[in-house]
Structure 1
Amino acid sequence: MKAEEVCSAYLLKVDPDRLLSSFREHSGLKPKGKIYGGWENSGLAGHSLGHYLTACAQEYASTRDKRFKEKTDYIVSELVACQKSRPDGYISAIPDGDAKWAEVRKGNIRSGGFDLNGMWSPWYTHHKVLAGLLDAYHLTGNKAALGVAEKFADWAIYETKDLTADQWQNMLRCEYGGMNEVLAELYTVTKQEKYLDLSRKFYDHVVLDPLKEGKDPLPGRHSNTQIPKLIGLARLYEITGDKSDEKASENFWNEVVDHHTYAIGGNSNHEYFGPADKLNDQLSSNTCETCNTYNMLKLTRHLFSWDPQASYFDFYERAHVNHILASQDPEGAGVTYFMPLGTGDERHYSSPWDDWTCCHGTGMENHTKHADSIFFHEGGHKLFVNLYDPAELDWDGTKVRLDSKFPNDGAVKLTIEGNKEFELAIRHPEWVQGSVDFKVNGKVAAVSAKPSSYVSIKRVWKKGDTVEFNLPMTLHTEAMPDNPKRVAVLYGPLVLAAILGNENGPRPRTPVLVTENTNPSDWLKKTSSSDLEFETTGVGRPDQLKFVPFYKVDHQRYGVYFDLFTDAQWQESEAKYRAEEARIRDLESRTIDSMRVGEMQPERDHQLTSERNDVREANGRSFRTPLNGGWFEVTMKCDPALTHQIVVSYWGNDRLRPDFDILVNGEKIASETLQGKPANEFYDVTYDIPKSLTESKSSIVIRVQAKEGHTAGSFCGIRVVHTK
């Protein structure tokens, strides 16, 4: 697979000494390389080393290319040296970690969504490093990696041994990744109960208890903070048999997949879950964080292993083909952080050396394990064929080869090399409309075949036996859960995207589909028999549209969701539709900087500081409210040659008595009480900035200051625009 080839070449170019730089420095050793950029050169330093260990270990397991084992062996040897230089087993790249962990150890815990005593999600980073070490142990046989992991976990036990239950819960308000999962895995290897005990302590009651009760606590929560918690519970269920852990994991999966997932299999907008089944107004350039899908696929594997239902791999296939394959830049090794689903958006890929984020790390892993879920087995008597990518399997001496051109073609051939009796279970996908013949050695087998099920063929297989079948792909639409007139178009499992121009070109007008007929087979036609390219016939507005598989769209603007109108509806709605489109285009064209308030990454990007603030959520949006004389400040870009305004998005919180000032660079530009504004809905207010405050400046400091005894408004977003 080309995606794996691109990733493999990139992994070999990565310099382990640069990933190890801060680990050595914080262990008192001289760094051997300059640290990479992005989050590696920040408070989340170190997480990428764990991802890189896992990626190289997976690539070695897949290819047996010794160069990848050499990479992992070297990193492990360096981490051994780091541990030897310290008395406590701690290995980390987190700045000023010793002093801050000393505070935590004493119960002096200051915790928020992504901050623990001034450290950026430190348990998240430690999880990645521990997971990488265990993967190096499992997949490359490096026993020293296990030793490093044990010493590191022992440090974690010592660090938290005196914390009370309340202190633990306070600490776990900060994102902790999959610490429960990796400690449970360490227990399975070592059989030391202390690691299982610590794993159980990484349990966030606020989120996990409702899931065990069959409730949905997800709206307004950071998506990728939650998913690893459930992967950990899934692993604990496999070890302990605790049925409540099983229930929480299954309930979470069902909630996310059935109520929070877009057509491509991804979830979240601006990294957060919105209200269940409310996706119509959640389309933007920041949909579908790639880490989320990486983790949902991990969770899916666990759930399938307990209950092998085809629905699990119907989802897995949808997310893998449409999101994971689309997340890599085929012209380089960059990967996406977000997978934009706003019409006219384009993908942004990370740079190889200067833009390391969480999704850059999971991206390295994603493209070294494309084959890890094609086959599953149940003991030695049943083999599941879950996906249809070309692959070769050696299953205890029985070799199985899968030949296909999937996902571009539905023809599949399995060849068995060996003499063995077993049951072959082949997934009949939910997207197949019509019957499928499964032929064994050229003859149609008498099997029960229906969509979203497994077709069972049990026999004594002999060398050279074949199973052939063709999965017919057809065009169909999938509507938004809250708007039946906004649809995505699919061909089989492939989400199709309309090409709307070059990535650096102007933002296009929003296309719509005008037709009385909702069957896409009647108005979307292939342009050739060899390529999966389609064109609309008469229904596109303002122009006809060319569609291609979403995962093949690179460096172009595109659209995935389209509004459907009848001729009469479009005649009635076109003027209003285009006027709103023009308003949004005008606002975006005048925007110099914008941020969502109450969310981790935008607030970090804009250097937010605050005092006496309340951060909450309403209708899928976070908001920040300074209380009783409280304040917050952000730094935002401006243009010294232009005149500016601030556009504030508020949530109409009728419980408040707001009275506050807005200041720019220390000078008041507005006093506000928000009298007469709407309650329980979002609205915008625009404030003028005197030109004297932005002259000769490329940035401004905006301060929101509540008056004593009063609050400020509930801020959802701030946008700096230039005047017309």
Structure 2
Amino acid sequence: MQLLRSVLLGTLAVASLAANAATPPVTAFGLGDVELFDSPFKQAMERNAEYLLSLDADRLLHNTRKYAGLQPKGELYGGWESQGIAGHTLGHYLTALSQQYAATRDQRFKARIDYIIKEMAEAQRVYGDGYVGALPAKELATLRGLKQGKIDVKDGFFFQDGSWVPWYTQHKILAGLRDAWTLGGSTQAKQVTLRLADWVNDVTAGLNEEQLQTMLSVEHGGMREVLFDIYGLTKDPRYLQTAQRFEHRAILNPLVVGRDELPGKHANTQIPKVIGAARGYEVANQLEGRPIAENFWKTVVHNHSWVIGGNSEGEFFFSPKTASEHLSAATAETCNTYNMLRLTERLFGWKQQVEYADFQERALYNHILASQEPKQGMFTYFMSMKPGHYKTYSTPHDSFWCCVGSGMENHTKYGSGIYFQASDALYVNLFIPSRLRWKERGLELEQHTDYPRSNRTTLKVTKAPSGSLALRVRVPSWASADATLTLNGKALDLDTKPGWYATVQRKWNKGDVLDVTIPTSVRTEPLHGASDQFAFVYGPVVLAGDLGPAPDGPTVPYAKEQGANLKAESVAVPTLSGDPEQLAANLSRLPGEALAFGLTTASPRKEITLRPFHELDYQRYTVYWKTTPAENAE
């Protein structure tokens, strides 16, 4: 603690320390540098793109125009867009459009971005003070009242006047504008972004420290992060000072020293605060941001996460020892994993640890990919861990939950975590069919694989870089033995142990082919605090028991309300008998191309198929199994 700058420093002291940024030594490639080949990830991206284009921009802009005194051009959407949190979807939508455009250069998305920004600029002009958004009158009055020091909090989500998380909603707008500027290529978005950031500065500048901390007790999304981003883009110290006003010390102080005070706290309220601290470390060299982010990540991933990579129950963290009491239908809010992945990417840039990439892989396959419904591209809110339950998806026009907004973003950026670049090295973190174009080094690389159905991936150099370059390929920690690498058909003598980067340093030539084989087997992972409950995992994918089709009904598979099926009955799940690891070793892969295994249960005795969790879209399932000692089986 003595080695760290105190988190209690005031904004002026912070500004004086912010001359140099803590530039990460390793960074992700731009979305446009990575092209996805056919795979479940590309298919998810294409479904999502169709949904983005199916939405009516004028309907999403309804409240932006209405509350500015302009005539709406489209009918208001339903669900959360017709409630006090209205407008959050518009911000997410701008980000999703911008990421899709950055990844594909599809002009349909660029046209949509430009139209929305033009409309928002007009609303901002009418407001006259720099504000733009879709906050209803009550929520906007709450934020404007801050300028007069009016802060009256009810709880973690509402002010006393009933306004619902206005900063949370406004963050989505500001982040969407930032992305339209930086990814969507809109020069007008830059102007709108900075005027709105100036407004945030104006309404918060007069608040003292006590008032700020009271304000921050209400969920406020990633306001600190996006303001740090704007500071990083402009180097204007006003935005640095504004960002610091969103430093919630009650949450961040314990994390500096690694104390786990998360049980009982709303999970996704906290993750953006930690990402904000990480951005403060990166763009303003605020040293405490790094231990805050690293300690939080370790605590959540190691102690508070389900096997699929998601966390929480009923949106809240709980004691790890009580996980078996929280296997409900309200587990693993998808927004949480969206934000944990964003944090993970930053941490990998600071320190290239395989466990960061392992988590990214786990969460992408088992939560994010699993969260999309394959017919209409709809989204889950909770990812039910309740044995014998099923998934519930949003409706196209009458849900617009927070996880719909973040879901729109999730499926536009699958290319962002596959490869990472250092000055002298290329990291291959994920095994997803794709093409990388590293313009600065003159390298083009193709990856071909049927992973995880097979345990092999092939990397082919289609354009050779200048000079020597280290190619560092992740050997996952879950690998059952050392990986095998061959270059142009010849075996390489390398350190390829699990949890390590196998490094090939050479002058690469066009046509070089590096084949990577990762020994893979079924293993088990226990449920926190429950010695008799566990999940089956094969490589990166969680294997869930297919228990037959989900019931037909008006809220299955699509529901307007995210909680529509939380109390729905689940079917009984058979128990297993014996040692979990022995059960895993005895599983037999079923014939055919599909990744599936046969499992014989003990009570009642029956045959069940284990499939990748992300493939169980409309079925009842169980992720966690109970086992009894073999001698006690019926």
Q: Give the TM-score category using the shorter length.
A: 0.7 to 0.9
Is the Cα–Cα contact under 8 Å of residues 476 and 519 in structure 1 kept in the other structure? Answer: no
Query: Does 2:104 align with 1:63?
Result: yes
2:621 aligned with 1:558: yes
| Deviation (angstroms), 1:401 | 0.7
Corresponding residue for 1:128? 172
1:165 corresponding residue in structure 2: 209
Distance in 2, matches of 1:98 and 1:467, equals 57
Which residue, out of 362, 367, 370, partners 1:318? 362
Within the candidate set 187, 210, 224, 1:143 is matched to 187
AA aligned opposite 2:590: T
Q: Equivalent of 1:402, from 447, 451, 466?
A: 447
Q: What stretches of structure 2 of length at least 5 have no aligned partner?
A: 1-41, 553-568
Q: Deviations over 1:650-673 (max 9, x none)?
A: xxxxxxxxxxxxxxxxxxxxxxxx
Q: 1:434 Cα shift?
A: 1.3
CA distance in 1, matches of 2:67, 2:362: 43
1:11 equivalent in structure 2 = 52
Deviations 1:364-403 (A, max 9, x none): 0000111111000012x21100000111111013111111
8 Å Cα contact 1:525-1:537 kept in structure 2: no
Counting aligned pairs with the same residue, the percent is: 41
Equivalent-residue separation in structure 2 for 1:466 and 1:189 (angstroms): 39
- Deviation of 1:333 after TM superposition, in Å, equals 1.7
3-state DSSP class of the match of 1:140?
coil
In the superposition, relative to structure 1, how do residues 194 and 517 fare at CA in structure 2: closer, same or farther (>3 Å)? closer
Indicate the RMSD between aligned Cα atoms, in angstroms: 1.4
> Paired residue for 1:435?
482
Is 1:190 aligned to residue 190 of structure 2? Answer: no
SS in 2 for 1:518: helix
Structure 1 pair 432–127 and aligned structure 2 pair: CA distance change class (3 A): same
Q: What are the within-5 Å matches in structure 2 for residues 536-575 of structure 1?
A: 536-537=599-600, 539=602, 541-571=604-634
Per the alignment, in what secondary structure is the counterpart of residue 195 of structure 1? helix
* Structure 1 match to 2:564: none
Deviations 1:182-223 (A, max 9, x none): 000001111110001110110111111111122112110000
Instruction: Check the 8 A contact 1:94/1:119 in 2, yes or no.
Output: no
Q: What is the CA-CA distance between 1:516 and the residue it aligns to?
A: 5.0
Q: Can you list the C-alpha shifts for 1:652-697, whole angstroms capped at 9, x where unaligned?
A: xxxxxxxxxxxxxxxxxxxxxxxxxxxxxxxxxxxxxxxxxxxxxx
Report what 1:115 is aligned to. 158
Residue identity matched to 1:383: L
Which residue is equivalent to 2:420? 376
Mean CA deviation greater in 409-418 or 512-521? 512-521
The answer on 1:512 being equivalent to 2:512 is no
Shift of 1:540: 5.7
> Does 2:189 match 1:178?
no
Residue 456 of structure 2 is matched in structure 1 by 411
Q: Counterparts of 1:123 and 1:185 in 2: how far apart (Å)? A: 17
8 A Cα contact 1:260 1:277, kept in partner: no
C-alpha separation in 2, matches of 1:402 and 1:520: 34
1:659 aligned partner:
none
> Is the 1:501–1:508 Cα contact (8 Å) retained in structure 2?
no
Give the CA deviation at 1:524: 2.0
Q: 1:21-44: per-residue Cα shift (whole Å, max 9, x none)?
A: 100111111100112111111000
Pick from 326, 342, 347: which aligns with 2:386?
342
**Superposition deviation, residue 544 in structure 1:** 2.5
- Partner residue in 2 for 1:675: none
| Contact 2:354/2:500 (<8 A) preserved | yes
Alpha-carbon separation, structure 1, partners of 2:508 and 2:362: 31
- CA distance in 2 between counterparts of 1:570 and 1:270 reads 34
In structure 1, stretches of 5+ residues that fail to align are 572-724
Q: Which of the two has higher C-alpha Rg?
A: 1
Distance, in Å, in 1 between the alignment partners of 2:421 and 2:543 is 33
Q: Is the 8 A contact 1:288 1:340 kept in 2?
A: yes
Check conservation: 2:469, 2:508, Cα contact below 8 A: yes
Q: Which amino acid aligns with 1:355?
A: S
Aligned mates of 1:224, 1:197 — CA distance in 2:
24
Q: 1:453 to 1:502 in 2, by over 3 A?
A: same
Alpha-carbon contact 1:475-1:521 (below 8 Å) kept: yes
2:142 & 2:263 partners in 1: Cα distance? Answer: 32
Which segment drifts farther, 114-123 or 254-263?
114-123
1:570 positional shift: 3.7
Q: Would you say 1:34 and 2:75 are equivalent positions? A: yes
- Asked if the contact 1:388/1:406 (under 8 Å) is kept, the reply is yes
Within 5 A, what are the aligned runs for 1:170-569?
Answer: 170-379=214-423, 381-396=424-439, 397-416=442-461, 417-420=463-466, 421-504=468-551, 507-516=570-579, 518-537=581-600, 539=602, 541-569=604-632
**1:240 to partner: Cα distance:** 2.0
When normalised by structure 2's length, the TM-score is: 0.88
Q: Any conservation in 2 of the 1:100–1:118 contact (CA below 8 Å)?
A: no
Match of 1:596 in 2: none
Instruction: Write the distance in 1 (CA, Å) between the matches of 2:271 and 2:580.
Output: 39
- CA distance in 2 between counterparts of 1:517 and 1:215 reads 32
Q: Is this contact kept in 1: 2:601–2:608, CA < 8 A?
A: no
Letter in 2 for 1:556: Q
Q: SS of the counterpart of 2:325?
A: coil
Pick closer, same or farther for the CA change 1:264–1:357 going to 2, 3 Å.
Answer: same
CA contact (8 A) 1:532 1:549 kept: yes
C-alpha deviations, 1:470-523, integer Å up to 9, x for none? Answer: 222211100112112201001111101111122117732221111356323443
Aligned positions of 1:539-618 closer than 5 A: 539=602, 541-571=604-634
Q: Which amino acid aligns with 2:79?
A: G
Give the Cα separation in 2 of the matches to 1:305 and 1:526: 37
- Cα offset, 1:243, TM superposition: 2.0
Distance in 2 between residues matched to 1:296 and 1:329, nearest whole Å: 21
Find the residue that maps to 1:500 and give its secondary structure. Answer: strand
Match of 1:103 in 2: 145
Cα 1:21–1:435 change in 2 (3 A) is same
User: C-alpha separation between the residues in 1 aligned to 2:94 and 2:218?
Assistant: 25
Q: SS where residue 312 of structure 2 aligns?
A: coil
Letter matched to residue 29 of structure 1? L
Contact 2:459 2:513 in 1 (8 A): yes
Quote how far apart the aligned CAs of 1:62 are: 1.1
**Does the alignment pair 1:45 with 2:86?**
yes
- The aligned counterpart of 1:589 is none
Q: For 2:545, what is the secondary structure of its paired residue? A: strand
1: distance between equivalents of 2:436 and 2:233? Answer: 26
How far apart are the structure 1 equivalents of 2:143 and 2:219? 16
Letter of the aligned partner of 1:456 in structure 2?
T
| Structure 1 pair 473–10 and aligned structure 2 pair: CA distance change class (3 A) | same
Structure 1 stretch 298-307 or stretch 273-282: which is displaced more?
Answer: 273-282
Alpha-carbon offset, residue 264 of structure 1: 0.4
Give the partner amino acid of 1:385.
V
Equivalent in 12, 19, 23 of residue 64 of structure 2: 23
Looking at structure 2, the residues matched to 224 and 542 of structure 1 have their Cα atoms a distance apart, in angstroms, of 41
In the other structure, the counterpart of 2:11 is none
User: Retained in 2: the 8 A contact 1:499–1:558?
Assistant: yes
Q: CA deviation at 1:545?
A: 1.6
Higher strand share: 1
